[in-house]
Amino acid sequence: MIDNKISSLKLEMQNRVIPLLEEAKTVLPALIVFETKRTEQRQAQLYGLGRSWNQMVWAYPYSPNFWCYAKKGATKRTWTTDSKHLRGEAVDFAFKINGSTTWDVREEDWDKLIELGKKYGLKSLAPLEKNHLELDLSLTPFEMPEPFVIPEWAAPACKKAKEKGIITKNFDEPITAYRLCAILDNLKLLD
Protein backbone atom coordinates (compact mmCIF):
# COMPACT_ATOMS: atom_id res chain seq x y z
CA MET A 1 0.00 0.00 0.00
CA ILE A 2 1.30 3.43 -0.94
CA ASP A 3 1.18 6.04 1.82
CA ASN A 4 0.79 9.60 0.50
CA LYS A 5 -0.21 11.31 3.76
CA ILE A 6 1.95 14.28 4.70
CA SER A 7 1.13 13.54 8.35
CA SER A 8 3.17 10.31 8.02
CA LEU A 9 6.33 12.35 7.55
CA LYS A 10 8.63 13.56 10.32
CA LEU A 11 7.48 16.94 11.62
CA GLU A 12 10.59 18.64 10.26
CA MET A 13 9.78 17.24 6.83
CA GLN A 14 6.11 18.25 7.11
CA ASN A 15 7.21 21.79 7.93
CA ARG A 16 9.03 21.92 4.61
CA VAL A 17 6.61 20.05 2.36
CA ILE A 18 3.45 21.93 3.40
CA PRO A 19 4.70 25.41 2.39
CA LEU A 20 6.26 23.92 -0.76
CA LEU A 21 2.83 22.57 -1.75
CA GLU A 22 1.20 25.91 -0.94
CA GLU A 23 3.60 27.71 -3.27
CA ALA A 24 3.34 24.98 -5.90
CA LYS A 25 -0.39 25.68 -6.26
CA THR A 26 0.51 28.72 -8.35
CA VAL A 27 3.57 27.49 -10.28
CA LEU A 28 2.82 23.74 -10.55
CA PRO A 29 -0.92 23.37 -9.99
CA ALA A 30 -1.01 19.72 -11.12
CA LEU A 31 1.69 18.64 -8.60
CA ILE A 32 0.61 15.96 -6.11
CA VAL A 33 2.27 13.97 -3.34
CA PHE A 34 2.57 10.42 -4.64
CA GLU A 35 4.36 8.69 -1.76
CA THR A 36 5.64 9.66 1.67
CA LYS A 37 6.65 7.13 4.34
CA ARG A 38 7.30 3.53 3.30
CA THR A 39 7.18 0.30 5.18
CA GLU A 40 10.17 -2.01 4.92
CA GLN A 41 7.97 -4.37 2.88
CA ARG A 42 7.10 -1.63 0.36
CA GLN A 43 10.80 -0.72 0.08
CA ALA A 44 11.65 -4.38 -0.57
CA GLN A 45 8.97 -4.57 -3.28
CA LEU A 46 10.46 -1.55 -5.04
CA TYR A 47 14.03 -2.76 -4.53
CA GLY A 48 13.12 -6.12 -6.07
CA LEU A 49 12.17 -4.50 -9.38
CA GLY A 50 14.98 -5.20 -11.83
CA ARG A 51 16.82 -7.52 -9.45
CA SER A 52 17.36 -11.26 -9.27
CA TRP A 53 16.48 -13.63 -6.45
CA ASN A 54 20.17 -13.82 -5.48
CA GLN A 55 20.37 -10.02 -5.25
CA MET A 56 17.34 -10.01 -2.94
CA VAL A 57 18.93 -12.70 -0.75
CA TRP A 58 22.03 -10.52 -0.53
CA ALA A 59 20.06 -7.34 0.21
CA TYR A 60 17.67 -8.91 2.75
CA PRO A 61 19.56 -11.90 4.25
CA TYR A 62 17.37 -12.00 7.37
CA SER A 63 14.05 -11.40 5.63
CA PRO A 64 13.36 -14.42 3.40
CA ASN A 65 9.74 -13.29 3.01
CA PHE A 66 11.10 -10.37 0.91
CA TRP A 67 13.03 -12.57 -1.54
CA CYS A 68 9.91 -13.27 -3.58
CA TYR A 69 9.84 -9.61 -4.66
CA ALA A 70 12.70 -10.22 -7.11
CA LYS A 71 11.55 -9.16 -10.59
CA LYS A 72 14.51 -9.57 -12.93
CA GLY A 73 14.06 -7.66 -16.16
CA ALA A 74 11.77 -5.02 -14.65
CA THR A 75 12.83 -1.37 -14.56
CA LYS A 76 14.76 -0.58 -11.39
CA ARG A 77 12.90 1.84 -9.13
CA THR A 78 15.23 2.27 -6.18
CA TRP A 79 18.92 1.87 -5.52
CA THR A 80 18.89 1.28 -1.77
CA THR A 81 17.27 -0.81 0.91
CA ASP A 82 17.73 2.05 3.39
CA SER A 83 15.63 4.80 1.82
CA LYS A 84 14.85 8.03 3.65
CA HIS A 85 11.23 7.12 2.93
CA LEU A 86 11.53 4.50 5.70
CA ARG A 87 12.14 7.29 8.24
CA GLY A 88 9.58 9.75 6.87
CA GLU A 89 12.32 12.00 5.47
CA ALA A 90 11.45 11.81 1.75
CA VAL A 91 8.56 12.50 -0.62
CA ASP A 92 7.92 11.33 -4.16
CA PHE A 93 5.85 13.67 -6.30
CA ALA A 94 3.83 13.17 -9.46
CA PHE A 95 1.40 15.23 -11.52
CA LYS A 96 -2.36 14.76 -11.83
CA ILE A 97 -3.34 15.62 -15.40
CA ASN A 98 -6.81 14.92 -16.79
CA GLY A 99 -7.53 12.70 -13.80
CA SER A 100 -4.47 10.48 -14.32
CA THR A 101 -1.28 10.33 -12.28
CA THR A 102 1.78 10.85 -14.47
CA TRP A 103 5.50 11.55 -14.35
CA ASP A 104 5.61 12.32 -18.06
CA VAL A 105 5.75 16.11 -17.90
CA ARG A 106 8.04 18.81 -19.27
CA GLU A 107 11.60 18.99 -17.92
CA GLU A 108 10.86 22.58 -16.86
CA ASP A 109 8.21 21.30 -14.44
CA TRP A 110 10.69 18.97 -12.75
CA ASP A 111 13.23 21.80 -12.66
CA LYS A 112 10.65 24.05 -10.92
CA LEU A 113 9.99 21.31 -8.34
CA ILE A 114 13.71 20.92 -7.67
CA GLU A 115 14.09 24.70 -7.22
CA LEU A 116 11.12 24.79 -4.85
CA GLY A 117 12.68 21.93 -2.94
CA LYS A 118 15.93 23.85 -2.50
CA LYS A 119 14.00 26.87 -1.27
CA TYR A 120 12.40 24.77 1.46
CA GLY A 121 15.50 22.83 2.49
CA LEU A 122 14.87 19.69 0.43
CA LYS A 123 17.31 18.11 -1.97
CA SER A 124 16.65 16.24 -5.18
CA LEU A 125 18.18 13.00 -6.36
CA ALA A 126 18.16 14.25 -9.97
CA PRO A 127 19.00 13.05 -12.50
CA LEU A 128 18.20 9.58 -11.09
CA GLU A 129 14.91 10.55 -9.46
CA LYS A 130 13.60 13.99 -10.33
CA ASN A 131 10.33 13.32 -8.54
CA HIS A 132 12.04 12.58 -5.19
CA LEU A 133 12.82 15.26 -2.60
CA GLU A 134 14.36 14.48 0.76
CA LEU A 135 15.41 16.22 3.91
CA ASP A 136 18.69 18.06 3.39
CA LEU A 137 20.40 17.98 6.76
CA SER A 138 23.12 20.31 5.50
CA LEU A 139 20.47 23.06 5.47
CA THR A 140 19.33 22.62 9.07
CA PRO A 141 18.32 24.44 11.12
CA PHE A 142 15.73 25.28 8.52
CA GLU A 143 14.47 28.83 8.35
CA MET A 144 11.16 29.70 6.79
CA PRO A 145 11.52 31.96 3.78
CA GLU A 146 10.50 35.52 4.52
CA PRO A 147 7.90 36.80 4.61
CA PHE A 148 5.92 33.93 6.09
CA VAL A 149 2.30 34.00 5.01
CA ILE A 150 -0.36 32.01 6.82
CA PRO A 151 -2.42 30.04 4.28
CA GLU A 152 -5.96 31.26 3.64
CA TRP A 153 -7.51 28.14 5.17
CA ALA A 154 -5.74 28.78 8.51
CA ALA A 155 -6.08 32.58 8.72
CA PRO A 156 -9.53 32.69 10.44
CA ALA A 157 -8.42 30.20 13.10
CA CYS A 158 -5.19 32.14 13.75
CA LYS A 159 -7.14 35.39 14.08
CA LYS A 160 -9.48 33.79 16.66
CA ALA A 161 -6.48 32.37 18.57
CA LYS A 162 -4.82 35.81 18.70
CA GLU A 163 -8.07 37.41 19.92
CA LYS A 164 -8.31 34.80 22.70
CA GLY A 165 -4.67 35.38 23.68
CA ILE A 166 -3.57 31.87 22.73
CA ILE A 167 -1.00 33.22 20.29
CA THR A 168 0.90 36.07 21.90
CA LYS A 169 4.26 36.03 20.07
CA ASN A 170 5.92 34.92 16.87
CA PHE A 171 6.58 31.20 16.88
CA ASP A 172 9.88 29.60 15.88
CA GLU A 173 7.89 27.16 13.76
CA PRO A 174 4.93 29.11 12.34
CA ILE A 175 3.59 26.08 10.47
CA THR A 176 3.12 24.23 13.75
CA ALA A 177 1.38 27.32 15.18
CA TYR A 178 -1.16 27.74 12.39
CA ARG A 179 -1.86 24.02 12.29
CA LEU A 180 -2.53 24.12 16.04
CA CYS A 181 -4.92 27.03 15.54
CA ALA A 182 -6.77 25.12 12.82
CA ILE A 183 -7.08 22.06 15.08
CA LEU A 184 -8.35 24.14 18.01
CA ASP A 185 -10.86 25.80 15.72
CA ASN A 186 -12.06 22.46 14.33
CA LEU A 187 -12.58 21.28 17.91
CA LYS A 188 -14.69 24.44 18.50
CA LEU A 189 -12.29 25.56 21.24
CA LEU A 190 -11.88 29.05 19.77
CA ASP A 191 -15.62 29.90 19.70
**What's the average pLDDT block by block, 10 residues per block, for the chain (191 residues)?**
93 91 94 97 96 94 94 93 95 97 96 94 91 81 54 78 74 62 78 83
pLDDT for the residue numbered 149: 63
CATH of 6-139, one of 3.20.20.60, 3.40.50.720, 3.40.50.20, 3.30.1380.10: 3.30.1380.10
Q: Please report, for residues 69, 161, 188, the alpha-carbon distance to residue 178 in angstroms, rounded to integers and kept in the order given.
A: 43, 9, 15
The answer to whether 54 and 104 are in contact (CB under 8 A) is: no
**Which string of DSSP letters, residue by residue, matches 64-112?**
GGGGGG-BTTSPP--S-SS-GGGGT-EEEEEEEETTEEE----HHHHHH
Q: Which ranges in the chain are annotated with CATH 3.30.1380.10?
A: 6-139
Task: Give the tens place of pLDDT for each residue, 150-167.
Answer: 677 777 888 888 888 877
